[in-house]
Amino acid sequence: METSTNHKAKVQAYQVSLWVNTILPPLKLVVGFLGNSAALIADGINSLTDIISNLVVYLLLRVSGKPQDENHAYGHGKYETVASFALGAAMIVAGILIIVDSGKTIGDYFSEGILPKQPAYIVLAVAIFAMVLKEWAYRYTLKKAKETRSEVLHAEAMDHRSDVFTSLAVLIGAGSSILFGGVAQLMEPIAAIVVAGFVMRMGLEVTLPSLAKLTEASLPKETEAEIIEIAKSVEGITDPHNLRTRMTGSDTVAIELDVRVDGHTSLYEAHDLSILLEEKLAERFGEGTHIIIHVEPTLPYIHKIGGYKENDGGITQ
């Protein structure tokens, strides 16, 4: 379980994003409709999905900081992973909606010769305002994500950055339409489609790592190798093996490891060695790390119950 201070910092940072995303959707949609900008309307729809997903994520983020209870022995960290996955999925859906809408606009021109109307100058002002606000939100949220090691804040920062480029597409498309007119008016939906692809790519970058954690994928091989080296560094412990790892939340992991100690070591001493190893692992991966150390005697040894002898070649009677 993460500290209350760290979780509070996450929630506060996310509240800033919530307020930023609350301002933009009505502004973009109203100006888009009044200013004849299909791209700004599409961008407004994109921002509307942001605020809807933000509300869902905000509620899940608050739950994820709750301590362990009798029904959640490993804490509530997975709620944040679910929230991150939902946010990435929302970005992908938003990209699809933009492509469909802009594709229809372009199709209308080639099938019926209908050009989209030229947008009003205020569309350019709103696009610039949105770009500046979202770039600030991106930098702020990314900084907080690194400080708190939060995957959901990192996902939110990436969403802010994709919104910057979406608004840039509006600026380019609307600007070309206003300045040149005619066929150049198609620049608005074309630019929106290009950026929609970028939005979907960002969504995949957020969704795939979250999916790996939800399916409890193991830690990277280099991280597991580091765990083995930490175990080997404890004097009295040998042959760390049968390592199992998984993510239990955005910044918490579970580690299970078998180690060997001298067969003549007392139970108290073996216990102390396992505690020492747990402390070293917790120091590296955080106090919320779930650690299970299984201690075995070094080979060969005799099972006193049943009279079985275990050695490097297997078990014999």
Architecture of domain 221-316: 2-Layer Sandwich (3.30)
State if pTM tops 0.85.
no
Q: What is the pLDDT of residue 94?
A: 82
Greatest Cα pair distance in the chain:
92
Could you state, in order of their start, the residue ranges of all structural domains in the chain? 4-214, 221-316
**What is the number of other CB atoms lying within 10 angstroms of the CB of residue 216?**
12
User: Which residues does the chain have with pLDDT short of 50?
Assistant: 1, 308, 312-317
Q: What is the pLDDT of residue 233?
A: 92
Q: What is the pLDDT of residue 79?
A: 67
Q: What is the pLDDT of residue 227?
A: 94
Give the burial class of 29: count Cβ atoms within 10 A of its Cβ; 0-12 exposed, 13-18 middle, 19 or more buried: middle
**Structural tokens at position 271:** 């216990």
Q: Are 151 and 63 in contact (CB under 8 A)?
A: no
**What is the number of other CB atoms lying within 10 angstroms of the CB of residue 311?**
11
The superfamily CATH assigns to domain 4-214 is: Cation efflux protein transmembrane domain (1.20.1510.10)
Q: What is the pLDDT of residue 188?
A: 84
CA dist 152 and 84 (Å) reads: 5
Q: What is the pLDDT of residue 176?
A: 92
